[in-house]
Amino acid sequence: MNLANYIEHTNLKQNATADDIITLCNEAIEHGFYGVCVPPYFVQLARKTLKKNDIKVITVVGFPLGYNTVSSKVEETKKAITAGAEEVDMVVNIAAFKSGDIVAVQNDIQSVVTACHLQNRHVKVIIETCYLDEEEIKTICKICADCEADFVKTSTGFGPAGATVKAVKSMRKYLPAKTKIKAAGGIKTKAFAKELIAAGADRLGTSASIELVKYSEED
């Protein structure tokens, strides 16, 4: 298994600097990661640093709390795509979902999905599984699938817990085969990364990427 193909090398720290993002991109080039995941402010810099490499530029929208207005998320999405983002990871309005406002949640997701798909960009919906029980995961996965999200993502990495094997297995059970899964948050070891992939994850978001691919030729 080539773990590098699964990895979105990530730096979403509030105090990330331009030099940090340049380093992140150069590491992605060196190790052949699938992509880099950076704050919207740094999308243009990441695209410029990666030049003509095939490494994807991914960014986040409504991050990390998700309760931004729909119009602000759509505008943020459009600006990110214009700057060079090839994939967008949006945080669902968890506050609306926990309040039972399913119509607002559907509108939230569908609006960003449409903005991405009109520009032939992939979109991932971050559902923050640490706040959800099994039935809620089932419900929100159905909404994401109905809205034709390309991926459903476990976590922002800013919540009280990140990706778990249990959550990924649940998501895989409730999502159609065409809807992929991104696991993110707390992925620090190669063994855990492989467990998540075995459970159904198609992509991994992590800042510990280099540790995960060390000595991969021995696997």
Provide the H-helix boundaries in the chain. 18-31, 43-50, 70-83, 94-98, 102-117, 134-146, 165-174, 190-199, 209-213
- Of the residues 73, 124, 180, 182, which is catalytic? 182
Residue 182 a catalytic site member: yes
Residue 89 a catalytic site member: yes
- Give the span between the Cα atoms of 58 and 52, in whole angstroms: 15
- Of the residues 89, 124, 150, 190, which is catalytic? 89
- Of the residues 73, 153, 180, 190, which is catalytic? 153
Element (H, E) at 122: strand 122-126
What are phi and psi for residue 112, nearest 5 degrees? -75, -40
Positive or negative, the Cα torsion across 148, 136, 192, 50? positive
> Catalytic site residues?
89, 153, 182
